[in-house]
Amino acid sequence: MKIDSDFSTEKQCIVIDIGTKYTKFGFATEHSPRCIIQTQSEIDGMIVTDFYNCIDQQKLTLALTKFIHRLFYKHALIAPKEKKVIIVESLLSPTKFKETLAKILFINYEIASLCFVPSHCVALFTLGISTALVLDIGYKETILIPVCEGVPVLKLWQAMPLAGESVEKQIKNQINVNELTAEKSTNDIIEDIKVRSCFVTKLNRSKNLVEGKDVNPLTTDASYHINGEISITIPGRVRETAYDILFEENIDEMSITTMILETIKNSNVDMRLKLAENIFLIGGTTIAKGFKARLKEELQEKVNSSKYQNLKISKFKFHIAPVYENYVAWLGGSIFGSTNNLNILSQTRENFLKENFIPDWPTTHTRPKVEQ
Ligand SMILES: Nc1ncnc2c1ncn2[C@@H]1O[C@H](COP(=O)(O)OP(=O)(O)OP(=O)(O)O)[C@@H](O)[C@H]1O
Ligand SMILES: [Mg+2]
């Protein structure tokens, strides 16, 4: 279904969500991305993946330029020139990344206008609500930001390096696939094993497994085939416990569960219940089977501990995303692109060349100024 808009195909606005692992690309007003590709570039035969943490400025510019070229000309089959572009970004993404991307898009690819929108805020457009505790669990890290009346509460943000990558590391440590890398890379195989054969187990079973007790019924081993020839066995225990890392507390007693509880605890008393009853989980890792049920169990158990008893919260409620969680933020960007706010908050090429500056998303209640 396509939402009616006054954009002609020529002027249609492009929405890009550059995740640390996957980039989602599509057109504003559409309900799903046209393509989702791995975020990576090749420089002199070397694969560059982590754009956000690339310290070498020259390398970042080259990797991003090549990536944008591949994205537009190989996958999307559209020229970026004179297009309006929306970039869905994490509020925590480094300024250097943002500035480099803006320069490349405006100068090398001559786009007409650019707008950066924060993923946690625009994700809420997909639900039509403006207050929620938004938790993005993608590949590299989990980022939690409460959003109140559409405004991100930045003093309460929290992040931890726990997400898809941590689960894959667990699997990698327990299964030897190094010698099987025929066509696919080891990392791709591990990810495939994770998505196809692993799941998030119930809290009780996880406790029993940690203590070495018997669980009933036992999870069966799975056979994973590569190119229809090589087969590896994924032990039931690995299938069932790989995701447990997301719920284990680190030395500071922090985990995904305690992140949520700490944020609720640190927020205004009158906001606590509202946040607990409006939790919105986004990001690909939350699609894993059993993830939401387990997180609910963990929260319910932990909130009754002495540390959080005073919160007096008896129920946690999760919103159901209208599409797969890995592209909810993208969809939010697409909805934003169909509103008049796009023109108000975008920077045009003309202005960028004059000012060399990209405005930030408003993080207060002041409305963006409309030029008379
Ligand atoms: N059906 C699924 N089951 C389990 N995991 C999944 C599923 N689909 C995607 N994932 C995992 O979600 C992760 C990617 O999610 P997402 O696209 O939200 O991340 P990203 O935006 O690239 O990363 P980040 O938000 O951390 O920058 C990968 O680790 C992928 O394996
Ligand atoms: Mg993401």
200: CATH = 3.90.640
Residue 19 CA to ligand 2 centre (angstroms)? 4
Task: Say whether both 235 and 195 belong to one domain.
Answer: yes
Q: Is the pLDDT of residue 296 over 60?
A: yes
Is the bond preceding residue 217 a cis peptide, omega within 30 degrees? yes
Task: Say whether both 241 and 256 belong to one domain.
Answer: no
Does residue 289 belong to any structural domain of this protein? yes
CATH of the domain at 63: 3.30.420.40
Half-sphere exposure of 268 (CA within 13 A, CB side): 7
Residue 279 contacts residue 316 (beta carbons within 8 Å): yes
Closest CA to 233 of 242, 225, 244: 225
Quote the longest CA-to-CA distance of the chain: 71
Residue 282 CA to ligand 2 centre (angstroms)? 8
Q: Is residue 15 packed enough to be buried (19+ CB in 10 Å), middle (13-18) or exposed (0-12)?
A: buried
Task: Say whether both 156 and 304 belong to one domain.
Answer: yes
Q: Is the pLDDT of residue 114 over 60?
A: yes
Confidence of residue 358 (pLDDT cuts 50, 70, 90): confident
Q: Is residue 9 packed enough to be buried (19+ CB in 10 Å), middle (13-18) or exposed (0-12)?
A: exposed
> How is residue 194 written in tokens?
């994770």
pLDDT, average across residues 262-291? 97
- Structural domain count of the chain: 3
d(CA 103, CA 62): 12
Residue 232 contacts residue 224 (beta carbons within 8 Å): yes
Q: Which atom of ligand 1 is nearest to the CA of 289?
A: 3
Ligand 1 site, residue 138, Cβ cutoff 6 A: yes
d(CA 167, CA 99): 32
Residue 164 CA to ligand 1 centre (angstroms)? 6
Residue 283 CA to ligand 2 centre (angstroms)? 6
Task: Say whether both 285 and 154 belong to one domain.
Answer: yes
Task: Say whether both 25 and 108 belong to one domain.
Answer: yes
Task: Say whether both 99 and 145 belong to one domain.
Answer: no
Task: Say whether both 18 and 111 belong to one domain.
Answer: yes
Task: Say whether both 17 and 56 belong to one domain.
Answer: yes
Structure confidence by residue, pLDDT tens digits, 61-92: 999 999 999 999 999 999 999 999 999 999 99
Structure confidence by residue, pLDDT tens digits, 209-253: 998 888 889 899 999 888 777 788 999 999 999 999 999 998 888
Task: Say whether both 138 and 277 belong to one domain.
Answer: yes
Structural domain including 184 reads 164-245
Ligand 1 site, residue 241, Cβ cutoff 6 A: no
Beta strands in 258-346 (DSSP E): 279-282
> How is residue 157 written in tokens?
């943000």
Ligand 1 site, residue 89, Cβ cutoff 6 A: no
Task: Say whether both 51 and 69 belong to one domain.
Answer: yes
> How is residue 190 written in tokens?
């591990």
Does residue 361 belong to any structural domain of this protein? no
Confidence of residue 176 (pLDDT cuts 50, 70, 90): confident
Most confident range (mean pLDDT) of 184-188, 225-229, 311-315 is: 311-315
d(CA 173, CA 280): 31
